[in-house]
Structure 1
Amino acid sequence: MTAPQTLGANDASPGAVNVLAALLEARTGQRIAANRTWRIDTALRPIAAERGATTIDDLVRLVLDGSSPELADRVVDALLNQETSFFRDAQAIAGAAEAIASLDRSNPRIWCAGCATGQEPLSLAMAFAERGGPLPEIVATDVSAAAIGRARTGRFSQFEIQRGLPVRQMLQWFEQDGN
């Protein structure tokens, strides 16, 4: 009798990695760099366990059998970076606010691509509001429908708000509602 397999570091076979990389690229245009394949196990372990898969290869087989179309969506979403924080690049945000405020336009528009759960576009909105004057239209997009859905709620954890947002701005722009 053999011990049951459990997920571990670098669990995915090269074939499974290739399938996952192709799925991610086909759906989002993003590629998994060779030195970042370690993220596959970390990102997919919870989904695999939830589905009763003991390996990443088993999870890939479940994705490929097509019996659960939303599984492929969840796998792709889990593989996305979605790194975000308030005022993540404060100099760039301040520079954008200054440059756009100096434009000779009454209705500037900004596209914030790859916004994940929305901290960067909200940082831009805060920067513009604090400068005074007209607020631009800010359109925020992301390849992850789940991230956009969460961004639309405007709800963030205490950790997410404190990460990059000074206390003064936290108190000015947010109201506490639970955690």
Structure 2
Amino acid sequence: MVRLFVALPLPLAQRRILALAAGGVPGARWTPLENYHVTLRFIGEVDERRADDIVSALDTVHADAFTLGIGGVGTFDSRRDARLLYARVLPVPALLDLEGRIGAALARVPGLDLEPRRFVPHVTLARLRQVDMGRLGAFIEGNGLLATPDWRVDHFALYSSDTGGDHSVYTLEERFDLDDDAGGDDHDGWADDGGED
């Protein structure tokens, strides 16, 4: 069995900016720089045969490349009940379209049961447990203008996740390229982005 999710990786420059903001909230478990990403679809645990079907389905997704940016931070719940601190990804139409196309492709995979979740594009900065509310509030107010330069999104990826240890370890399993005419088969198979793009 393998635990899978579909995501957009962040370029190194954007990851460094987010990593510089991390800290100052006791009780926060900060996401390592190498784990920053924008989840498009969480899939969960599947067997190898179904994983192959997922790759085939994602290979049918065609969309244009686009630009994306990050602006601000927040939590999903009230600060008192917050369990996740995130950087807000600006939800441009092309991103929402890509997420919808991926969801439609995965819905065609036999036996795949996806959780229905509202798509809120974000990058997880920290998981929260018994944090100091005053420090959390100060972090959110102090980083309200946190932003990264826009970057060009030219691919999405399928990752596996090993949740053992202090932090999850994500492994790139497959890369799917986007293009400017959305008309050709631009998937180039297995890829190693070296974690540097």
TM-score normalised by structure 2 residue count: 0.22
Structure ID, larger Rg: 1
After TM superposition, the score normalised by the length of structure 1 is 0.24
Q: Which has the higher contact order (CA 8 A, sep 6+)?
A: 2
